Amino acid sequence: MKAPASAASPAIRHYENFPVASRLCPAPLRPAVTAIYWFARTADDLADEGGDPPAQRLADLAAYGADLTACAAAREVSPRWRNVFEPLGDAIRRFALPLAPLEDLLSAFRQDVVKTRDGAGYADRAELLDYCRRSANPVGRLLLHLYGIRDAAALARSDSICTALQLANFWQDLSVDLPRGRFYLPARDCREHGLDPLAPAGWAGHPNARQLVASEVQWAKSVMLAGAPLVRQVPGRAGWELRLVVQGGLRILDRIERIGYDSLHVRPRLGAGDLPVLLWRSLRM
């Protein structure tokens, strides 16, 4: 999918492990799904992409948050992100989208900037899950809102799927994130496998590193499988798209396993050759 014209990220192209507003998404919902995606994607780019110093990133995210508030109130937004907020404002008004999940996303992106600035990681899985609660789970909850699904069991399963996708992305991107000063392997897990959480430069060469990654991959897989029954609650084509999302996350975890859990050195990816497997597994869910 091509990004909307935005001064925030005019030349950034993004790889995803899952479909975004594909033709399986119901046509009336597709503009709203796309608007939510680009709101999150642009904010994430403000936090992560380019060479701006942390102070500038935080200032940009504050301005972006102010535009979100203005957008939700149907007030004028700044020209910089108009192509993000105009479609998002339409979606907010048409579907009565709640503002809190969007604000949670911005909270997580600000945390990313601060953690990277300070060279800080996560103490344990509970702290990492709190980050996922704000960085990933809001998207699933917004989509369920669009689909008219509001029951507690569905929300919990959606949270599991979104958290698992976020974890899968962390373990896929270890070789990319570590050189950029982003540390998502929980310190407690590192210590349990004999790695020093205060010496990330030595993680890749540690003899127990692959065992550590394997434990994180199995954790992510168990979280995904806990949420997978949601695919039978989402109706029609949207349910089939969700099947592909779930299978895309599981497939990247399989890819990490296939390289011997060596994602501290190699970044596995999905390609066109994975599509038949994803379709077959989706049919069997």
What does the pLDDT look like over 127-186, one tens digit per residue? 999 999 999 999 999 999 999 999 999 999 999 999 999 999 999 999 999 999 999 999
User: In the predicted model, what is the mean pLDDT of the chain?
Assistant: 91
Give dist(CA 146, CA 156) in Å, integer: 16
CB atoms within 10 A of CB 34: 18
What are 31-50's pLDDT values in tens digits? 999 999 999 999 999 998 88
Say yes or no to pLDDT of 12 above 50: no
**62: three-class secondary structure by DSSP:** helix
HSE-CB for 151 with a 13 A CA cutoff: 5
Q: Binning pLDDT at 50, 70 and 90, where does residue 24 land?
A: low
> Which pLDDT does position 9 carry in this prediction?
38
HSE-CB for 276 with a 13 A CA cutoff: 1
> Which pLDDT does position 18 carry in this prediction?
46
Question: Which residue from 18, 8, 70, 72 is spatially nearest to 41, judged by alpha carbons?
Answer: 8
Instruction: Please say whether the beta carbons of 222 and 249 come within 8 A.
Output: no
Class of the CATH-defined domain 120-285: mainly alpha
> Which pLDDT does position 27 carry in this prediction?
85
**pTM of model > 0.85:** yes
Q: Binning pLDDT at 50, 70 and 90, where does residue 8 land?
A: very low
Q: Binning pLDDT at 50, 70 and 90, where does residue 114 land?
A: very high
Say yes or no to pLDDT of 1 above 90: no
Token pair 């990490």 is found at 256
> Which pLDDT does position 22 carry in this prediction?
55
Domain map of the chain by residue range?
26-118, 120-285
Q: Binning pLDDT at 50, 70 and 90, where does residue 229 land?
A: very high
Q: Report how far Cα 58 is from the mean position of its chain's Cα atoms.
A: 20
What are 231-260's pLDDT values in tens digits? 999 988 889 889 999 999 999 999 999 999
